[in-house]
A and B are shown apart, each in its own frame.
Chain A
Amino acid sequence: MGIRKRTVGLWGIWLLASLALAGWLGLPLLKKDTPKTAFIPGAMTHGHHQIELQCGACHGDGFNSHEVLQDACVNCHGDELKAAQDAHPKSKFTDPRNADRLANVDARFCVSCHVEHRPELDVGMGVTLPMDMCVHCHEDIASERPSHEGMGFDTCASAGCHNFHDNRALYEDFLLAHAGEPWLKPEPVQPPRHGWRHDMDDAELVALLRGDGPPPASVKEPEHWDGNAHAEAGVACTACHGSAEQWVDTPEPLQCARCHESEVEGFTRGRHGMRLGMALSPMTPAQSVLNMHVEASHRELTCVSCHGAHDFDTQKAAVDACVGCHNDEHSNEYLRSSHHDLWKREKRGELPPGSGVTCATCHMPREVHNGDVRVQHNQSLNLRPVEKMIRPVCLTCHGLEFSIDALADPHLLENNFRGKPDIHVPSVDMARERDESRDGKKGLY
């Protein structure tokens, strides 16, 4: 009898403990912004730490499938990889003839190389990366390329020569096509940008600019409105703030997308805007893992944090907005760099428009799409590995060899390119030597 009572008691304790555990674990899942620390097996890498509370963004609803996790990676990074002409797409590894290779590195899944929740394995690019990834498939490279004899298995990607995904500026024919270029091109100027949506016809655009009628009578024209880009384009107050009946003093953070869709899309994919892209509160410098100015800690990152609510000053957004928050060596040294000198001279009218090099010039480059010049607002896109910056940024003004060398020199990255590179990456030399050894043989095609 005593044992039965004791058993019932233990079952009761078990039931209560299980319910309490289920409640403790389950309740935070019901509310989006509640910390889910009990479920986080380790801190996130700095590529994802802003969205660590949005477990479902990567894991889906069920935490039960490699495919769900893979789809999440592709949803955010797939377009970027396609645009980079990914040298190792998944399809390369789903072929059964590569089954033995998958036993070493299952490259069908991003997480095989880029593990999350293990920031101690981060190689400095916001992702973890096995340093021996190349050797599993290319260990006999020296038999095909004798020049590679004796090179370390971990130097393929670290020496500034190859990238796993993006080799657009590093493949042999490209190296040859740009061999011998001067370090500085004769006319180092970036193209002027287009600010409005070219996917709309004029009538649609005008309707957007006119907004929803006049603003409420109590609304006064903001100071310094005259002369700004929106005023000159004829943008009405209600285009952003809503009609008189639905007027809001502070438009939603992503309201700008109505006219600046591609810019907002880029912004919400980068580290500045990815929280907004995941329907979380805006990122603040206090949440950053980089050094930031203390006084900027609680600023919220939306379009107007850099562009201003009514001045829309792109010059300010290109430098002042960045160095107003960022307080690392690279950012601070920019103000003493020759790139910044060019920017000051452009602003004084001493150099033609597009001659200056701002933070945005490199980190938010101007891209040409069907003749339309757009500013890429995902400032993380070309950041790591640094070679991703060569084609869209460096080559606008500099030669390829100089660009590869400069980006491979860690001292220059810190001092913001004050001086010439001390490092020489021999990839162009090697391409040239190989070409000459074959008598510069060119195919018909």
Chain B
Amino acid sequence: MQAMQDVVKHKVSILMATALSALLLSGCGEEEAKPAGGIDPKVYTDSLFAVMNADRTNYTKLIIARLGPQGADSIKPHEYWEDLDNGAPLPAQMFRYGAEAVSETSSDFSYSLQSLWPINSQNAPKTELEKEGLQFIVDNPGENFYGTETLGEVSYYTAVYPDVAVAAPCVACHNNHKDSPKTDFEMGDVMGGVVIRVPM
């Protein structure tokens, strides 16, 4: 019995020594606690969309329509605007640059512009909720779509808002682009949707 106790003590000593050595040779980690939010997710995403939509509409109407080929013709909105001396990003690119800049500073929400008729196929709806939401806003003009989904083991509150053709350049560009799957858009049509996600 005594021999058994000695063996156990011996093993415990070795374990303690190993643990202490490991502690000496390594650092300690600490996880940050996440503060709990208090705002209703719908109010949060609706507010975000209000700002996004205002900026997007203003860029399209005040810059692209006014200074582009259908206005003063002093800038050339183009997908590869960086290769042109007077190039300017397209409204959809401007929107994406905003989303990319946000993603570099915040993981509290993310957003993207998608469509059932995307010029770039990577911007087609991908998750089941995106597909459902994009179809819903097309079928129900003027309404938004809200839901929850789990992606990569994280739950999200996901809102989908209609992206409406607000200026002639929107319609003209999409109807004439060689990669556009739909060529009969009209002013006021829902051309796609803004998808905003908030991790829950």
Contact = CB atoms under 8 A, between A and B. Distances in A.
Interface of A: 3, 7, 10-11, 14, 18, 21-22, 25, 62, 64, 85, 89-92, 94-100, 102-103, 144, 168, 171, 173-174, 435, 438, 441-445
B135 interface: no
Majority secondary structure of chain A interface residues (helix, strand, loop or mixed): helix
B90 interface: yes
A335 B10 CA distance: 73
Given A22-B24, A95-B110, A171-B80, A445 B69 contact: yes
B110 A22 contact: no
A443 B151 contact: no
Contacts of A97: 112, 126-127, 130, 151, 195, 197
CB-based closest 4 A-B pairs: A99-B152, A91-B100, A99-B151, A441-B178
Contacts of B83: 168, 174
A96 B78 contact: no
B29 A64 contact: yes
Given A7-B9, A25-B25, A97-B151, 19 more contacts: A3-B6, A14-B17, A14-B21, A18-B17, A21-B21, A21-B25, A91-B101, A94-B107, A94-B110, A96-B152, A100-B152, A174-B80, A438-B178, A441-B176, A443-B177, A444-B172, A444-B173, A445-B69, A445-B78
B13 interface: yes
Interface residues of B, number: 47
Instruction: Say what secondary structure dominates the interface of chain B.
Output: mixed
Interface of B: 6, 9-10, 13, 17, 20-21, 24-25, 27, 29, 68-70, 76-80, 82-83, 90, 99-101, 103-104, 107, 110, 112, 121, 126-127, 130, 151-152, 154, 156, 169, 172-173, 176-178, 195, 197, 199
B69 A144 contact: no
Q: Among A11, A435, A441, which residue has the most Cβ atoms of chain B within 10 A?
A: A441
Nearest to A93: B103
B24 A103 contact: no
B112 A95 contact: yes
A91 B17 contact: no
Nearest to B120: A144
21 contacts: A7-B10, A18-B17, A21-B25, A22-B25, A62-B27, A89-B100, A91-B103, A91-B104, A95-B112, A96-B156, A97-B126, A97-B127, A100-B152, A144-B121, A174-B83, A441-B178, A443-B173, A443-B178, A444-B172, A445-B90, A445-B173
A435 B68 CA distance: 24
B82 A445 contact: no
Nearest to B152: A99
B16 to A, nearest CB: 10
